[in-house]
Amino acid sequence: MAFTQPFGLYSAATGLGLLVTVLTLSRVTRDYAHDKKASGIADLIRRGAMAFLHKEYSILVVVIAAAAALIWFVSGKIESYAYVAGAISSMFAGFVGMHAATKANVLTTMVAKDEGERPALLTALMGGSVMGFTVATLALLGLGIITFLYQDHISFGRILTCYAIGASSIALFARVGGGIYTKAADVGADLVGKVEQGIPEDDPRNPAVIADNVGDCVGDTAGMGADIFESFVAAVTATMVLALETYSADSVLVSLPLVLSAIGIFASAAGLLSVFVIPVKSEKLLHFAPNIAIIGFIVASYFYMQSAQIATNLFGSVFLGAITGIVIGLITDHYTNGQPVQELAEASQSGAATNLIYGLSLGFGSIVAAIWIIAAVVFASYNYFGGLYGVSLAAVSMLATVGIAMSVDAYGPIADNAGGIAEMAGFGPEVRKITDKLDTLGNMTAALGKGFAIGSAALSALAMFAAYCMASGLSALNLIDPTVITGMFIGATMPFLLSAMTMKAVGRAAWKMVLEVRRQFKEIPGLLEGKAEPDYEKCVGISTEAALYEMLLPGILTIAMPIIIRYGFGLQGKLALGGFLAGATLVGVPLALMMANAGGAWDNAKKFIEAGNVGGKGSPAHKAAVVGDTVGDPFKDTSGPSLNILIKLMSVLSLLLATI
């Protein structure tokens, strides 16, 4: 092969990513003058989180083994190895990130107590960085090694795809299971604790309080990490496969996605470093780091592409993709933090029904600008910059700075946990004031993160769709063809079906939790008076089992449907599957966005009222807002995120089906 991939660059970026991971990990796991009670609580959370991972991974081992055997059988040995590597990478990232998060939470509480707000914020951010940089580094490492070993192999594209499928299958468990876990615990804890017993949030007397905190780690850290890892790997894989199908295997365009990933790690590291050396206000910090990284990424990419003599118009796609992340973030911020949220809070004054109608309508309206922007990026990237490859490249570019984006995102649950620990350990109001502020910033980053996750899922899915069409040899997918129409209609029902299933799953799992918490309040004497300890483990166990059980059916459906469509339509299967993917993506993306934004807005409207507006805590408006928030919980943390997985997993599976 005439062209040599810049493996030196990949190695340097991987090395830097590992260095950042190790440094931040060692900082957040360092010895620190710990409060005994706080440490005890943190231990409970960590043990609960690890118990979930342990149980999840023990199921996953069986699933991975079965899938690997199947892939070996239908595709080949190397593909099977690649699949296992993708799965293990995702699991490892989840493990390391969660380990760091469950160390960083209590450290953030202690630092908030001893050193104040800014050091605490940086501690939580470093905790998040472990997940962020692990995700970015492992993706480049895995795909880089495959490229190094098999770039001349005839099945190079398929091997990459199998790595992506490995990542996807873990994401399914982590995101759907994690999403059910976290909301079962949250809703269960709230319904009995807050509503029936009238004790505050994060009160240690609530038997489900540890499960609730574990849920933050399980759903928002490990789940989000696996989700973004999947998006990143899918986008890079799809772009490489497209380049292989469209251009020659030794084209510099095959290496470009990996190069951009490498540049992204450098830029992310620079973004993270900048918050330590440049004086930025604490409130701006979490916006500042990613923006610095994106600017650095754009500049570096420009110079690289110039020097590699890559057509300037392709840079247009890179540029558009990179800023799309920011723009979608701003839109999400507007709908979940801006004027609409205040209007929602005011509408809550006329009751729960008005709060819900307004919130749903806010969610419906919130998707329009974001989807139009995605449509514009697709249109411009394809027409002016680089065809399907250009569209794909925009997805890679949006995800390239995933290191810092994910760091900021994983900051949220750590800050949330830190607040919970401060509350449960009985720290004074000064400490809680700091942790509350950190938590509020975390809510904002959580909403931004969800926007980013869905935006990137949409672009990754489009990239995968393009790769699917190329790999299937479909030069056209005709919308007037009844097979395509039928496929599209069936695909369009999938997001609705999956949402229905996951929402009901949360309801059922939360109900089990409610029964257990009620039982403990009844049967453990002195619990409500704070004289006896609740049985936290029991609640953790209920969430764990319910989550893993409830994700089975949606998981099987997600995997089975593409296969059924592909082979059920016989010779027309490729067309039907193309329509199916298009339908699922077209409905899934706005629905996921709607759920994330409505959920975020309900959450923040409640917080806005709790901050003393339109009547404040305990007012009728607050009661109405609590109903909205409870409905929004499974929207934003279970069903919405599950749709990201649905869209991507079906796309990547279809790509594999197209090549065998």
338-397: contacts with its own copies (CB under 8 A): 347, 350-354, 356-358, 360-365, 367-368, 371-372, 374-376, 378-379, 381-383, 388, 391
Q: Is 309 left (phi over 0), alpha (psi -120 to 50) or beta?
A: left
Q: How many residues bind its own copies (CB under 8 A)?
A: 76
Helices of type H across 115-223? 117-150, 156-171, 178-189, 209-215
Q: Is 586 left (phi over 0), alpha (psi -120 to 50) or beta?
A: alpha
Rounded to a whole number of angstroms, the minimum distance from the CB of residue 636 to its own copies is 13
Of 95 and 511, CB closest to its own copies: 511
Dihedral of CA atoms 201, 205, 206, 208 in degrees, nearest 10, equals: 110
Report how far residue 118's alpha carbon sits from residue 447's, in angstroms, rounded to the nearest whole number: 22
Rounded to a whole number of angstroms, the minimum distance from the CB of residue 223 to its own copies is 20
**Residue type at 14?**
T
Q: Which of 114, 496, 530, 618 binds its own copies (CB under 8 A)?
A: 496
Rounded to a whole number of angstroms, the minimum distance from the CB of residue 307 to its own copies is 29
Q: Is 14 left (phi over 0), alpha (psi -120 to 50) or beta?
A: alpha
Query: What DSSP designation does 30 have?
Result: S
Q: Which of 260, 631, 650, 653 binds its own copies (CB under 8 A)?
A: 631
Give yes or no for residue 499 binding its own copies (CB under 8 A).
yes
Contacts of 65 (CB under 8 A, 6+ apart): none
Asked if 409 and 452 touch (Cβ cutoff 8 Å), the reply is: yes
Give yes or no for residue 84 binding its own copies (CB under 8 A).
no
Q: Which of 146, 217, 490, 547 binds its own copies (CB under 8 A)?
A: 490
Give yes or no for residue 504 binding its own copies (CB under 8 A).
yes
Report how far residue 512's alpha carbon sits from residue 185's, in angstroms, rounded to the nearest whole number: 10
Of 60 and 490, CB closest to its own copies: 490
Give yes or no for residue 475 binding its own copies (CB under 8 A).
yes
Of 93 and 378, CB closest to its own copies: 378
Of 296 and 578, CB closest to its own copies: 578
Give yes or no for residue 541 binding its own copies (CB under 8 A).
no
Report how far residue 410's alpha carbon sits from residue 445's, in angstroms, rounded to the nearest whole number: 9
Give yes or no for residue 586 binding its own copies (CB under 8 A).
yes
**Window of 144-152, 257-265, 524-532, 577-585 that interacts with its own copies by CB under 8 A:** 577-585
User: Interaction with its own copies in 388-447: which residues (CB under 8 A)?
Assistant: 388, 391
Of 297 and 465, CB closest to its own copies: 465
Give yes or no for residue 313 binding its own copies (CB under 8 A).
no
Of 195 and 308, CB closest to its own copies: 195
Rounded to a whole number of angstroms, the minimum distance from the CB of residue 461 to its own copies is 12
Q: Which of 420, 573, 583, 641 binds its own copies (CB under 8 A)?
A: 583
Instruction: State the Cα angle at 215 between 111 and 115, rounded to 5°.
Output: 5
User: Interaction with its own copies in 175-204: which residues (CB under 8 A)?
Assistant: 187, 191, 195
Report how far residue 370's alpha carbon sits from residue 35's, in angstroms, rounded to the nearest whole number: 45
Of 438 and 646, CB closest to its own copies: 646
Q: Sign of torsion, CA 147 148 152 156?
A: negative
Give yes or no for residue 590 binding its own copies (CB under 8 A).
yes
Report how far residue 52's alpha carbon sits from residue 248's, in angstroms, rounded to the nearest whole number: 46
Rounded to a whole number of angstroms, the minimum distance from the CB of residue 315 to its own copies is 18
Of 196 and 533, CB closest to its own copies: 196
Dihedral of CA atoms 533, 534, 540, 543 in degrees, nearest 10, equals: -170
Of 207 and 634, CB closest to its own copies: 634
Q: Which of 140, 262, 285, 506 binds its own copies (CB under 8 A)?
A: 506
Measured between its terminal Cα atoms, the distance across the chain in Å is 25
Give yes or no for residue 501 binding its own copies (CB under 8 A).
yes
**Window of 24-32, 62-70, 314-322, 466-474 that interacts with its own copies by CB under 8 A:** 466-474
Q: Which of 18, 273, 323, 485 binds its own copies (CB under 8 A)?
A: 485
Residue of 90, 235, 94 whose CA lies nearest to 166 = 90
Rounded to a whole number of angstroms, the minimum distance from the CB of residue 554 to its own copies is 12
Asked if 606 and 632 touch (Cβ cutoff 8 Å), the reply is: no
Query: What DSSP designation does 198 have?
Result: -
The binding track of 218-257 with respect to its own copies, each residue x by CB under 8 A or -, is ----------------------------------------
If 0-12 CB within 10 Å is exposed, 13-18 middle and 19+ buried, where does residue 307 land?
exposed
Rounded to a whole number of angstroms, the minimum distance from the CB of residue 238 to its own copies is 14
Give me 477's structure tokens.
């997918």
Report how far residue 209's alpha carbon sits from residue 213's, in angstroms, rounded to the nearest whole number: 6
